[in-house]
A and B are shown apart, each in its own frame.
Chain A
Amino acid sequence: MSEKLEELRVSEEATEVITVRRRRTSGTEGATRTSGEGEVHVWPHLVYRELICTVLVVGVLFAVSLIFDAPLEEQANPSNTPNPAKAAWYFLGLQELLVYFDPWFAGVVLPSLIVAGLVALPYLDINRGDGPGLAAEPRRLAVPVFVAGLAIWFVTILIGQYFRGLSWAWYWPWENWHIPKATEAFSWNFPLPAGLASVGLFGLVGFVLPGLISRRFYRRLGPVRYLTTCFFLTVMAAIPVKILLRLVFGVKYVLATPWFNL
């Protein structure tokens, strides 16, 4: 018990204390925070855990390096390129997106938007005055949405790594992916008016629906933040929609124009 007291004393003395926030109760919005309540010190509580994680991660790396050899391949041969040519695993998600979008979109716009979105995050997720932490509790929508975005990234990696065989065709686990698939999957485009209508409708829903469902959401963010948030949300939501359209219904482009395709 004296240890606890000691900690408290130290935290009081510090002019600026880095804390790990522990909230015992939920839904106490607007409750004022008293300094030191429910807080513990970084040392040893955080650092110790981090140390254990570090040691475990290094251990796992050791074990993996003992069991598996590095998959080094032969010298590159420009006249004999591998089929399919796969990127490093952590980029396979992006490469997989090339199936669903044109390169300008999948390779340029989307990655830029991801970076831009991450940069914008602190400016969109405003402090609600209930503490500086990054607690999950008040972010019942924000955290799941972000996790869903992360999940798209990793699911596409999984698809790219294990479900794409020769000529980037889809191979189920029970199909031998060394055997070429004779026929290319059937695909079609939306007619232009339908495409325009779909994209417009989707954008409209993405920008208007959140505000309609929760007025408070709009009021709290203000118009600029609201629109920015909705923009990122809509684009992110469009990706799984397009993936499904492509994989299940064989839709190549929703919007096919002579200048660009979506």
Chain B
Amino acid sequence: MTLDRPNITPGINRAALIAILAYCVFAIFMEFVRGMQHAPGGAPYGFESLEERIALSAPLGPQETKGKILYDHYCAVCHGDSGQADGLNASRLTIGPRDFTAPEFRARLKDETAVVKVIREGGLASGLSSSMPPWGLTLNPTQTTELVTYLKKLAGPPAGAPGP
């Protein structure tokens, strides 16, 4: 059995085949052309990235912002608004509060767990002043982390690192 081609009007057959194929190719081409056209109002970003954009335009990151709120509420009264140990109450303490902008604090910040320990368990537990109360029952671990993030911001970049 062979595939014998009927020889009736082969010209018409070929023309019809070509026409049908051309039609299909053109239809597929148009499908792509129209598919690439988009409605106006396709700005590069949408609401999903809104939060990121807001965060980018803010001077502080989200963690630092939360940390700053906590710092201003609980800590600034002794440690000062900018962490320079110049809070309203600083002069009244027998042992002055920690200056977060001093180089030795930057060094201490390398060991984050130690700083967290002082915050959570108080100064006395780490052999520091009893004037630093324990905040472990007041702040939850997430808040402590946020606070430390903000402290890092106050302390500035570690010595040797290029400035911002």
Complex interface: chain A residues within 8 A of B124 (CB):
none
Q: Chain A 95-126, CB within 8 Å of chain B: the 1/0 string?
A: 00000000000000000000000000000000
B161 contacts chain A at the CB level, 8 A cutoff? no
Q: Chain B 1-31, CB within 8 Å of chain A: the 1/0 string?
A: 1000011110010001001000100110011
A22–B27 Cα distance when bound, in Å, is: 35
B34 touching A177 by the CB < 8 A rule?
yes
B40 contacts chain A at the CB level, 8 A cutoff? yes
B8 touching A136 by the CB < 8 A rule?
yes
Task: Tell me which of B1, B6, B19 contacts A44 (CB under 8 A).
Answer: B1
Determine the interface band of chain B, counting residues with CB < 8 A from chain A: 10 to 19
A177 touching B37 by the CB < 8 A rule?
yes
A154–B16 Cα distance when bound, in Å, is: 13
**Chain A, range 137-161, C-beta contacts under 8 Å to B:** 137, 143, 147, 151, 154, 158, 161
* Total residue contacts A-B, CB cutoff 8 A: 39
B23 touching A154 by the CB < 8 A rule?
yes
B33 contacts chain A at the CB level, 8 A cutoff? yes
Task: Knowing A154-B23, A161-B27, say if A136 contacts B9 (CB, 8 Å).
Answer: yes
A22 touching B40 by the CB < 8 A rule?
no
Complex interface: chain B residues within 8 A of A177 (CB):
34, 37
A158 touching B6 by the CB < 8 A rule?
no
B58 contacts chain A at the CB level, 8 A cutoff? no
A151–B31 Cα distance when bound, in Å, is: 20
Complex interface: chain A residues within 8 A of B37 (CB):
176-178
Q: Nearest Cβ distance between residue A131 and chain B, in whole angstroms?
A: 12
Q: Chain A 152-191, CB within 8 Å of chain B: the 1/0 string?
A: 0010001001100000000001001111000000000000
A173–B6 Cα distance when bound, in Å, is: 39
B93 contacts chain A at the CB level, 8 A cutoff? no
Task: Tell me which of B8, B19, B27, B33 contacts A158 (CB under 8 A).
Answer: B27
Task: Knowing A44-B1, A137-B9, say if A178 contacts B39 (CB, 8 Å).
Answer: yes
Complex interface: chain A residues within 8 A of B30 (CB):
158, 161-162, 173
A162–B35 Cα distance when bound, in Å, is: 11
Task: Tell me which of B8, B19, B31 contacts A23 (CB under 8 A).
Answer: B8
Q: Chain B 31-49, CB within 8 Å of chain A: the 1/0 string?
A: 1011001111000000000
B27 touching A162 by the CB < 8 A rule?
yes
A44–B27 Cα distance when bound, in Å, is: 35
A22–B8 Cα distance when bound, in Å, is: 7
CB-based nearest A residue for B15: A147
- We find that the number of chain A residues with CB closer than 8 angstroms to chain B is 20
A162–B34 Cα distance when bound, in Å, is: 7
A197 contacts chain B at the CB level, 8 A cutoff? no
A256–B38 Cα distance when bound, in Å, is: 39
Q: Nearest Cβ distance between residue A166 and chain B, in whole angstroms?
A: 10
B8 touching A135 by the CB < 8 A rule?
yes
Complex interface: chain A residues within 8 A of B39 (CB):
178
A136–B15 Cα distance when bound, in Å, is: 14
Q: Nearest Cβ distance between residue A226 and chain B, in whole angstroms?
A: 26
A248–B8 Cα distance when bound, in Å, is: 39
A48–B1 Cα distance when bound, in Å, is: 11
Complex interface: chain B residues within 8 A of A173 (CB):
30, 33-34
Task: Knowing A44-B1, A162-B34, say if A137 contacts B8 (CB, 8 Å).
Answer: yes
CB-based nearest B residue for A144: B12
A173–B8 Cα distance when bound, in Å, is: 38
A23–B10 Cα distance when bound, in Å, is: 12
The 9 closest A-B pairs by CB, nearest first: A162-B30, A178-B39, A176-B37, A173-B33, A136-B9, A178-B37, A177-B37, A22-B6, A162-B34
Q: Residues on B close to A: CB < 8 A?
A: 1, 6-9, 12, 16, 19, 23, 26-27, 30-31, 33-34, 37-40
A sample of 8 cross-chain residue pairs with beta-carbon separation below 8 angstroms, ordered by A number, consists of A135-B8, A136-B8, A137-B9, A161-B27, A161-B30, A162-B31, A177-B34, A178-B38
